[in-house]
Structure 1
Amino acid sequence: MADPTDLNLPEEREHVYKQQNDDVPASSLNSTPSSSWWSSLLAASGLVSPLDFAFVLFSVVYIFFLGKFAFPPQSDDPSKDPPVFKAEGIMVKTGPAFGAVLGLALPIAYIFHGVLEGDQEGIEAAVPHVFLLASQAFMDGVAYSDRFSTPIRVFMPVFFSAKKIFTLMDWVGNEFSKVCVGGGCDAAAERRVLLGRGLAVANLVFWSLDLFC
């Protein structure tokens, strides 16, 4: 099984890393088999809404449309274009790894735990975010191939992050609508509700900062 934390989020932060490591092929850093595997698995599970699935399919078509008509490459090797962000920034250095753990690994563990506990409501609320993040990682890898220009590489994570904000708001609302805390549930169920709330809120805060800051 692919390591769920082995997730490349190749935004400008990874682009800086690639420019500093010219001996490593860009294609190998952009390869995201684990993200593709997770998005495919969740899509096949029946827990992903048709609208979310259509959004990802649309992104595939849209990125090629933009690359052809709106922002075609201005050089033979767009991967060598100057980066937008400087490599010294702490968020640039740590953001991808932290986002992979918070946004993918922990929610996947939460989903698996929900399967064991029979928390169908919690699973259905968390799956859309995981699906979109895994799909984003895959599409970021596509955007960072040598055929797409810098504007498209910047646009793709923004495109998905804006969509994820609404999904995360739904997740937060779902978790806080549960009435288990304060009575009516055993200790294990109450801990799961608190965990779900914390995880949903933490993701909403992190991805909002990622999008706007």
Structure 2
Amino acid sequence: MSGGVGPTCNDISLPKEEAYEHKQSYVAASSKTNTKYPTTPRKAGFLSFRQLNALAIIIIFSASGMVSPEDFAFVFFSLFYIYFMSKVAFPTLHPSKEPPVFTTRETKLLRLYVFVAAIIGLFLPVAYIFHGIFEGDKEGIKAATPHVFLLSSQVFMEGVAFSDRFSLPIRAFVPVCYNARRIFTIVDWLRTEVSKEYGGSKRRLYVGRGLAIANLAFWCFNLFGFLLPVYLPRAFKRYYSGRKVED
């Protein structure tokens, strides 16, 4: 997650592991060829293992009937919108014209950041939802599902955007867009956890509230402390510098 839990160094995309892998391929290639810019992003083709996992979660949650029509509409809209933006506003440059966004040292720190994001944003909430099935906590499940569904969709979309079909601004757009949307779902989740009347164990009640608070704090920082002030400006700077080179 690029700042997400996907490649989206990006959201975290959650920039992320694929962006990191891309950066590593650039380091290795540049040592052999002395090229100034990174090698091409992966070519569009088969889905990655991370995307398949995200797609499995999307399908399971969709089949459960717990995903709202608004969340479905948001995902479909984002898919068509990135294609529209890639054609109208930010066309893809020649791969050799797009410099890397992060240095090797920054990439190592981002790997750890993405790992923490995956635990807080995906693994623990999924475990909380499945535990709620056995505990009969329908309110908690219903409140946590939108965040997990949208985060899984973000991971999938970051994998789609990190290909040779899309430019850096488009790859940055995915985590920023999804992160902003998910903050509203997390606020609703926290509101439900605080106000719900749950007759089960108090431990689950406290865990649910703590998990919602942790996600709200983490993803607010990710959006306002990393994606908007750091990742997005760098992506635009690299993109437009690449356009000058191309021109």
Give TM-score scaled by structure 1 length.
Answer: 0.85
1:93 maps onto 2:111 in alignment:
yes
How far apart, in 1, do the equivalents of 2:221 and 2:5 lie? 19
Match of 1:73 among 92, 106, 118: 92
Is 2:59 the counterpart of 1:40? yes
Q: Among 145, 153, 159, which residue is 1:141 paired with?
A: 159
Give ranges in structure 2 of 5+ residues lacking alignment: 10-15, 30-40, 226-247
Aligned to 1:193: 205
TM-superposed deviation, 1:20: 1.4
- Aligned-partner Cα distance in 1 for 2:188–2:5: 26
The amino acid that maps onto 2:92 is P
* Structure 2 equivalent of residue 62 of structure 1: 81
Q: Which residue of 1 aligns with 2:191?
A: 173
Which residue identity is paired with 2:127? Answer: A
Structure 1 counterpart of 2:100, from 78, 83, 103: 83
Amino acid at match of 1:142: V
Letter in 2 for 1:205: A
Alpha-carbon separation, structure 2, partners of 1:36 and 1:48: 14
Q: 1:10–1:140: 8 Å Cα contact kept in structure 2? A: yes
> Which secondary structure state, in structure 2, belongs to the residue aligned with residue 26 of structure 1?
coil
1:11 is matched with 8
In structure 2, the CA distance between the partners of 1:35 and 1:17, relative to structure 1 (3 Å rule), is same
1:87 and 1:93 in contact (8 A); partners too? no
| SS in structure 1 of the partner of residue 201 of structure 2 | helix
| Deviation by residue 1:19-68 (Cα, 9 ceiling, x = unmatched) | 21357983699721000110121112100000001100111111110111
Q: Which amino acid aligns with 1:130?
A: V
Off by >4 Å, runs of 4+ in structure 1:
22-25, 27-30
Judge conservation of contact 1:8–1:29 (CA < 8 Å) in 2: no
Give the partner amino acid of 2:24: Q
Contact 2:8–2:171 under 8 Å retained in 1: yes
Q: Deviations over 1:148-192 (max 9, x none)?
A: 000001111000000000000000111111355xxxx5xx62100
Amino acid at match of 2:69: P
* 1:63 alignment partner, SS class: helix
Q: 1:175 to 1:34 in 2, by over 3 A?
A: same
Aligned length in residues: 199
Query: For 2:88 and 2:175, how far apart are their aligned partners in 1?
Result: 20
Instruction: State how far apart, in whole Å, the 1-side matches of 2:5 and 2:163 are.
Output: 13
Aligned to 1:205: 217
Tell me the alpha carbon deviations over residues 56-82 of structure 1, each in whole angstroms, 9 at most, x when there is no partner.
01111111101111111121x37x722
Q: Indicate the RMSD between aligned Cα atoms, in angstroms.
A: 2.4
In 2: Cα distance, 1:8 partner to 1:206 partner: 12
Task: Give the aligned partner of residue 170 of structure 2.
Answer: 152
Q: TM-score, length-normalised on structure 2? A: 0.74
Gaps of 5+ in 1: 1-6
